[in-house]
Amino acid sequence: MKKNRFLSLACAAGILSLITACGSGASQSSTPNQVAYHASYPDFSSSEELYGKADLVVRAVVQPGTEVRELSSGGTDSDDPRLNPQAGVDSGEQPAEDPVVVTVRKIKITKLHKGVGKVGDTIEVKELGGNLGGTEYVSDESTPLVPGKPYLLFLTTFPDQPASVITPVQGQYPLDGAGEPQSLPDNKLKMTTKNLEQLTRAASQ
Amino acid sequence: MRSMRPARSLVITSLATACTIALFAAPAHGTYWSGGMPRADFSIRTYSYNPTWQGPLDNGIVNWNGTPTPAAIGKLSSSPNTLTATSYSDTWYGLFTSSGPRDSSRTFTIKLNSRTISRDATNFSNMVTRVFSHELGHGLSMADNPSTSSSSIMKYTAWNTLVKPTTYDIAEVNRIY
């Protein structure tokens, strides 16, 4: 009996130790070869707002292959003090450029809902993080696009860099077998083909 | 009767374990981020931006230092931790990057995206303070979007109105440190 009780207590102690380790996040700590990214994004409260803020809305299939790149900010020469925090300030006082590591994938457009492009075009889309030079850059928020799978994507485009999904959670809808968009688990915004067609019509009027 | 004791002991142990998980595991995963700093007192390199940004940025630090928590964030010209505010070709408002193990060697960078902030700000000063406070919250080991109904600067909402750490945020920092 004492042996059974000892085993029970030992099991409980083991489980509690595991829980403590999970709670402290010890297993997620950065190592010398790991860099953690934590990005903050807008939260769109309606499909109209999401559609309105996106530059490019497409159905597309993710192509095989990825490329990891280091991207610099590019900055701006604008005189607008809101857009350019360095306007009128000695640039020598700023920290050195610290590039952001991204993984770039190609997507092939199968239907254009908003923006500039056409069916068959291939464009680049970037996601935070990737493995570069032996260092793993990990982004907690990213849900990587899956090669070969079709998506409805809400994108922001840039003249100098690949496009970005407008937010990792609200900007991508995997399509089911019937071609209907499916929200990611943390996305409260539902989207249907009918809803999207209404948004597209409203925007063109 | 005696033969029931091991079984009863196992049941009690299981219940105690389940209660422990319910009480502690979910909140820890919902709010704690291991990418933060090992201590709540840390420095950030002295920064200099135009007055439209500088004051609201400083308020982000002042707001955290004014909370009844161990948070004590100082500006230091030799700090390895940096803030960069400029226009990035991406969709985030802020990006917190942490490097190194969770000990005294850990460093971080905070990037604020003037492109998205200036686009979405209805109260510019408030939004700059809020985004910076949010990123400093990551430095204080708090994760995004805690699963709570309480107000929090770590949520992705009220970017233009909620600028100070809330009661919930203060309690979380005190729990973590």
Task: Kindly state whether residue A131 falls inside one of the protein's structural domains.
Answer: yes
Q: B89: how many CB neighbours lie within 10 A of its CB?
A: 21
Please report the pLDDT score of residue A157 as a whole number.
97
Residue of A nearest to B38 (CA): A29
Q: Which residues in chain A are contacts of B17 at CB distance < 8 A?
A: 12, 15-16
Half-sphere exposure of B8 (CA within 13 A, CB side): 6
Which tens digits make up the pLDDT trace of A12-56?
Answer: 444 444 443 333 333 344 555 899 999 999 999 999 999 999 999
Helix (H) or strand (E) holding A3: helix A2-24
Our count of domains for chain A comes to: 1
Note the pLDDT of residue A75. 79
Asked if residue A79 is part of any domain, the answer here is: no
Quick one: pLDDT at residue B161? 96
Q: Where are the beta strands (DSSP E) in chain A?
A: 34-40, 56-62, 67-71, 100-114, 122-128, 130-132, 135-139, 150-156, 163-165, 172-174
Q: Which fold has domain B34-176?
A: Collagenase (Catalytic Domain) (3.40.390)
Is the pTM higher than 0.80? The answer reads: yes
pLDDT digits (tens, 9 = 90+) for A107-162: 999 999 999 999 999 999 999 999 999 999 999 888 999 999 999 999 999 998 99
Nearest to A36 by CA among A49, A51, A25, A21: A25
The residue-averaged pLDDT of A101-105 equals 97
User: In chain B, what residues touch A74 (CB-CB under 8 Å)?
Assistant: 87-89
Give the pLDDT of residue B6.
Answer: 53
Q: Percentage of chain A surpassing pLDDT 70?
A: 82
Asked if residue A77 has pLDDT above 90, the reply is no
Give the CA angle between residues B121, B158, B112 to the nearest 5°: 50
User: What distance in Å separates the CA atoms of residue B40 and residue B139, rounded to the nearest whole number?
Assistant: 8
pLDDT at residue A174 greater than cutoff 80: yes
Contacts of B51 (CB under 8 A, 6+ apart): A81
Longest Cα–Cα distance of chain A, Å, equals 80
Quote the pLDDT of residue B26.
37
Work out the average pLDDT over B135-153: 94
Residue A34: give its domain's CATH number.
2.40.50.120
Mean residue pLDDT of chain A comes to: 86
Q: Does B90 touch chain A (CB under 8 A)?
A: yes
Write down the domain spans for chain B: 1-31, 34-176
B50/A71 CB distance under 8 A? no
Q: B31 with B146: CB under 8 angstroms?
A: yes
If pLDDT is split at 50, 70 and 90, which confidence band does A180 have? very high
Is the Cβ–Cβ distance between A153 and A107 less than 8 Å? yes
Helix (H, G, I), strand (E, B) or coil at B22: helix
Please state whether beta strands B107-113 and B82-86 pair in parallel, antiparallel, or not at all (unpaired). parallel
Say yes or no: A8 contacts chain B, CB-CB below 8 A: yes
Asked whether residue B19 carries a pLDDT value surpassing 50, the answer given is no
Task: Give the sign of the dihedral formed by CA B177, CA B131, CA A39, CA A43.
Answer: positive
pLDDT of res. B34: 92
CB-CB contact of A38 with B138 (8 Å): yes
What's the pLDDT score for residue B120?
A: 95
Domain hosting A171: range is 30-72+98-204
pLDDT digit string (tens) for B29-54? 458 999 999 999 999 999 999 999 99
